[in-house]
């Protein structure tokens, strides 16, 4: 394992965050604060509790998960897309660096940035609601697994994308609706039986529910099922990347 190569890629990607601090950190914090003001105040004043938890506190894990998914996918996609766009990907592919080391460097940096922002959002939420975290280690485990898994999916999207429109398709047009409809702002127990059953087809439901359980011990699905689903997503991403590197899909022209 070429540790120096991994560190070089990782530090290069992390340095980009410092150059785009307004977009990378400040913008998600402002957006999340607005969510708390609109949903927590306007709607929360009409909803006393959900599952024995105040509405503002109930939506906090969903907001963190929304930001985490969007940021990890975007960072993972942009990290590998720009070397393709500028042509420097060929220098990387011709260097004595294995595909595994490339993935660890890029995905590790994207996951780190996502986790940093997720923790900042968590700290921001504490100014708006009274938070309790019943299982802090499990909360961190959910965050780390989710960050790594969806940074990997972002990496795959960055390889697949041919233009900026495709690059932003999933993080901008797919992730937000899935997160909103995945129980971020409500419990699926509030839905009619048919729509509650349909909600179980939404993969984000398992991420949000498991993450919320680590905070308050309440969940729409069994937290063990949530962990299994994250494992399935992670395995799917690894298999897809293995196939891409084996065939050179959109890496070698």
- Distance, in Å, from the CA atom of 17 to the CA atom of 159, rounded to the nearest integer, reads 21
Whether 129 and 36 have beta carbons less than 8 Å apart is answered as yes
Residue 97 within any structural domain of the chain: yes
pLDDT digit string (tens) for 52-96?
A: 888 888 888 988 998 899 889 989 998 888 888 887 777 887 888
Whether 208 and 202 have beta carbons less than 8 Å apart is answered as no
pLDDT at res. 112 = 94
pLDDT at res. 168 = 82
Cβ-based neighbours of 93, under 8 Å, separated by 6 or more: 251, 252
pLDDT digit string (tens) for 146-173?
A: 999 999 999 999 999 888 888 888 888 8
Which among 70, 92, 122, 120 has a CA at the least distance from the CA of 13? 92
pLDDT at res. 202 = 92
Residue 253 within any structural domain of the chain: no
Low-confidence ranges of the chain (pLDDT < 70): 20-24, 40-45, 251-253
Helix (H, G, I), strand (E, B) or coil at 224: helix
User: Which domain does 237 fall in, by range?
Assistant: 3-247
Residue 66 within any structural domain of the chain: yes
pLDDT at res. 150 = 94
Find how far residue 126's CA is from the centre of its chain.
20
Residue 198 within any structural domain of the chain: yes
> In the chain, what is the greatest distance between 2 CA atoms, to the nearest angstrom?
60
- Distance, in Å, from the CA atom of 85 to the CA atom of 100, rounded to the nearest integer, reads 21
Whether 183 and 199 have beta carbons less than 8 Å apart is answered as yes
Residue 163 within any structural domain of the chain: yes
Residue 241 within any structural domain of the chain: yes
How many structural domains are present in the chain?
1
Q: How far is CA 114 from CA 48, 76, 195, in A?
A: 31, 10, 31
Residue 252 within any structural domain of the chain: no
pLDDT at res. 10 = 92
pLDDT at res. 36 = 75
């Amino acid at each position: 394992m070429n540790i120096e190569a991994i560190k070089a890629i990782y530090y290069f990607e992390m340095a980009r965050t410092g150059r785009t601090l307004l977009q990378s950190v400040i913008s998600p914090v402002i957006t999340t604060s607005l969510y708390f003001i609109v949903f927590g105040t306007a709607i929360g004043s009409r909803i006393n509790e959900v599952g024995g938890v105040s509405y503002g506190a109930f939506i906090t894990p969903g907001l963190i998960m929304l930001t985490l998914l969007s940021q990890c996918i975007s960072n993972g996609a942009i990290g590998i897309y720009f070397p393709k766009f500028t042509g420097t990907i060929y220098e990387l592919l011709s260097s004595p660096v294995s595909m595994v080391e490339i993935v660890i460097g890029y995905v590790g940096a994207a996951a780190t940035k996502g986790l940093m922002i997720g923790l900042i959002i968590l700290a921001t939420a504490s100014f708006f609601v009274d938070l309790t975290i019943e299982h802090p280690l499990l909360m961190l485990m959910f965050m780390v697994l989710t960050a790594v898994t969806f940074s990997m999916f972002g990496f795959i999207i960055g390889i697949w994308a041919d233009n900026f429109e495709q690059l932003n398709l999933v993080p901008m047009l797919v992730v937000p609706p899935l997160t909103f409809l995945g129980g971020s702002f409500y419990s699926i127990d509030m839905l009619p039986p048919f729509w509650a059953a349909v909600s179980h087809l939404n993969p984000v439901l398992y991420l949000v529910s498991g993450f919320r359980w680590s905070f308050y011990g309440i969940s729409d699905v069994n937290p063990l099922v949530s962990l299994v689903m994250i494992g399935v997503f992670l395995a799917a991403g690894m298999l897809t990347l293995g196939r891409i590197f084996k065939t050179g899909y959109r890496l070698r022209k």
